[in-house]
């Protein structure tokens, strides 16, 4: 059993307990979790909300995010790394009418982010002498960050998301697009010595059981098939993938949003046509999930400790 103990600033406590599956992948993940807790004992965990389809921001709030995306594209464009001139023009027009931003714009800009990250950060392509790689790294990450900001507005209109209104998923994680700690630093989770890759083709929901409420979190450069489908994106695109690397982060899915997507005949049709396996992995089930106040899980709760079969993984006790 995997147990997360939580505490509020007022000292109130509660826990979420998870019954882990007895599958080859989950057993591999358990071994990974024990190993990474020893190598990375200082991880600061936090809870995040996923599939935020219920809260719509005012359209004018998109302008600042559009401006920041445009500035990022301008930097990449004027330094000759990519030709983003067409999208820069589109963004400048949208800044005058921000209510016209649609998800298809964000799908494309997110793919541009993914392409840049792969080429210039992961593959390490040679840069012009005047470009600092760390500066470029931040600019590329900013594209991702501000695209996700605008999604808080576009998601409200997405037809495929409407069945899931008022039904959140939750992550227990250590990093995301807005919190880039613990990524490439020496002796951290995704440092060269600790990173562990997952071979593609490992999970096929057409053949394996998926009606579970705890999943491996989507720490991937692009999108998984389920998010892409909700975004009305093209599942055949290069950036639509599953987990390619191990992560200690998990997704809690108490309303079974993932299984309901996988049950959908239209999703199944598009997934099969993509020729790709899902490669998002169920890990287990939340114990007594109907007794948890999911509306309050995000309210100032912090992770006090993580226990695996009675052994404390985080924080490590100091002897």
Q: What is the pLDDT of residue 53?
A: 59
Q: What is the pLDDT of residue 42?
A: 86
Sheet holding 214-216, edge to edge: 46-50, 169-173, 250-252, 214-216, 282-286, 13-20, 2-7, 302-308, 311-314
Residue 319 located in a structural domain: no
Q: What is the pLDDT of residue 58?
A: 56
Report the SS3 class of residue 311.
strand
185 in the same domain as 277: yes
Q: What is the pLDDT of residue 178?
A: 47
pLDDT along the chain (319 residues), means of 10: 92 94 98 95 88 57 92 97 98 95 97 95 86 93 93 88 90 68 61 91 95 95 95 97 95 97 98 96 97 82 94 77
Tokens of 277: 């396996």
CB 224 within 8 A of CB 198: no
281 in the same domain as 239: yes
What backbone phi and psi angles, to 5 degrees, belong to 53? Answer: -100, 0
Q: What is the CATH number of the domain that holds 12?
A: 2.40.100
Q: What is the pLDDT of residue 319?
A: 37
Ramachandran sector of residue 284 (left: φ over 0; alpha: ψ -120 to 50; beta: rest): left
Angle at 192 between CA 43 and CA 302, to 5 degrees: 10
- Number of domain units in the chain: 2
114 in the same domain as 77: yes
Torsion on CA atoms 300, 227, 183, 55, rounded to nearest 10: -30
DSSP 145: H
Q: Which of 129, 155, 181 is the last residue of a domain?
A: 155
Q: What is the pLDDT of residue 191?
A: 86
H/E stretch holding 134 reads: helix 133-154
Q: What is the pLDDT of residue 25?
A: 97
176 in the same domain as 41: yes
How far, CA to CA in Å, does 142 sit from each of 65, 71, 72, 174, 208?
A: 10, 10, 7, 18, 37
Q: What is the pLDDT of residue 219?
A: 85
Terminal-residue alpha carbon distance, the chain: 25
DSSP 158: -
Q: What is the DSSP string of 55-93?
A: ----GGGHHHHHHHHHHHHHHHHHTTS---HHHHHHHHH
Q: What is the pLDDT of residue 182?
A: 44
CB 53 within 8 A of CB 158: yes
Expressed as residue numbers, the domain containing 297 is 2-51+169-314
């Amino acid at each position: 059993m995997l147990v997360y103990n939580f505490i509020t600033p007022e000292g109130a406590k509660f826990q979420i307990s998870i019954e882990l599956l007895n599958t080859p992948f989950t057993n591999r993940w358990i071994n990974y979790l024990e190993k990474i807790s020893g190598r990375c004992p200082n991880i600061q965990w936090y809870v995040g909300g996923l599939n935020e389809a219920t809260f719509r921001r005012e359209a004018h709030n998109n302008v600042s995010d559009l401006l920041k995306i445009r500035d990022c594209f301008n930097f990449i464009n004027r330094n000759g790394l990519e030709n983003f001139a067409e999208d820069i023009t589109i963004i400048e027009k949208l800044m005058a009418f921000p209510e016209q931003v649609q998800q298809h714009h964000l799908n494309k800009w997110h793919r541009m982010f993914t392409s840049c990250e792969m080429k210039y950060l992961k593959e390490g392509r040679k840069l012009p002498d005047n470009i600092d790689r760390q500066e470029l790294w931040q600019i590329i990450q900013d594209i991702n960050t501000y695209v996700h900001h605008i999604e808080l507005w576009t998601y409200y209109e997405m037809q495929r998301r409407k069945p899931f209104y008022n039904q959140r998923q939750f992550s227990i994680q250590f990093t995301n697009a807005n919190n880039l700690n613990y990524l490439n630093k020496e002796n951290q989770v995704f440092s060269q010595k600790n990173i562990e890759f997952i071979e593609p083709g490992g999970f096929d929901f057409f053949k394996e059981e998926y009606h579970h409420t705890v999943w491996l979190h989507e720490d991937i450069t692009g999108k998984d098939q389920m998010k892409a489908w909700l975004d009305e994106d093209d599942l055949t695109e290069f950036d639509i993938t599953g987990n390619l690397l191990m992560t200690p982060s998990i997704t809690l899915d108490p309303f079974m949003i993932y299984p309901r997507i996988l049950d959908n005949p239209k999703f199944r049709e598009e997934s099969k046509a993509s020729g790709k396996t899902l490669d998002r992995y169920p890990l287990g089930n939340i114990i007594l999930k109907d007794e948890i106040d999911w509306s309050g899980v995000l309210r100032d709760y912090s992770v006090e400790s993580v226990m695996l079969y009675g052994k404390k993984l985080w924080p490590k006790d100091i002897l």
